[in-house]
Structure 1
Amino acid sequence: MVNDAAPASPPADQPRNTLRPDSPCAGYCSTSHGDEICKGCGRTFDEVINWIIYDDAEKAAVWARLEAAGLVKR
């Protein structure tokens, strides 16, 4: 049986593209020069070095903090 129904659209108040890059890294990490907070992405040194082992909830918490502070550059 063929389903001819149109795909459901997201609600009007929901952005169409809610995908984020895997990392907030902006490509110029100042933590490698001794800064505790990266001037490129706004993450702490610990967040930068532990990013690859963070689970989805930990990453989402960092993204939420960066977005609330207006620090997302990607």
Structure 2
Amino acid sequence: MAVCSTTFDEVCRGCGRTVAEVAHWVSMSADAKELVWQRILAQGYPRRNK
């Protein structure tokens, strides 16, 4: 089930990824994904769980 929504801004309200990160996620390396998740968690996402 998809939860991503970037309708109104550049960051998904569901997962915290940017439009570019969502678009390129499947081709990103595990290390690149880990850096994204570290940033997301530091910024207080994912907000869908709150």
What are the ranges of 5 or more consecutive residues in structure 1 without an aligned counterpart? 1-25
> What is the aligned-residue RMSD (CA, Å)?
2.1
In the alignment, what sits opposite 1:30? 5
Aligned pairs, how many? 48
What are the ranges of 5 or more consecutive residues in structure 2 without an aligned counterpart? none
Report if the CA contact (8 A) 1:27-1:40 is conserved.
Answer: no
| TM-score normalised by structure 2 residue count | 0.76
For the residues of structure 2 that align with 1:29 and 1:63, how far apart are their CA atoms?
Answer: 15
Q: Greater share of helix residues, 1 or 2?
A: 2
| TM-score normalised by structure 1 residue count | 0.55
For the residues of structure 1 that align with 2:8 and 2:19, how far apart are their CA atoms?
Answer: 9
Pairing 1:57–2:31 present: yes
In the alignment, what sits opposite 2:45? 71
In the alignment, what sits opposite 1:46? 20
Structure number with higher relative contact order (C-alpha < 8 Å, ≥ 6 residues apart): 2
Runs of 4+ in 1 over 3 A off after TM superposition: none
Using the aligned pairs only, state the percent identity. 42
Report if the CA contact (8 A) 1:42-1:66 is conserved.
Answer: yes
Structure with the greater alpha carbon radius of gyration: 1
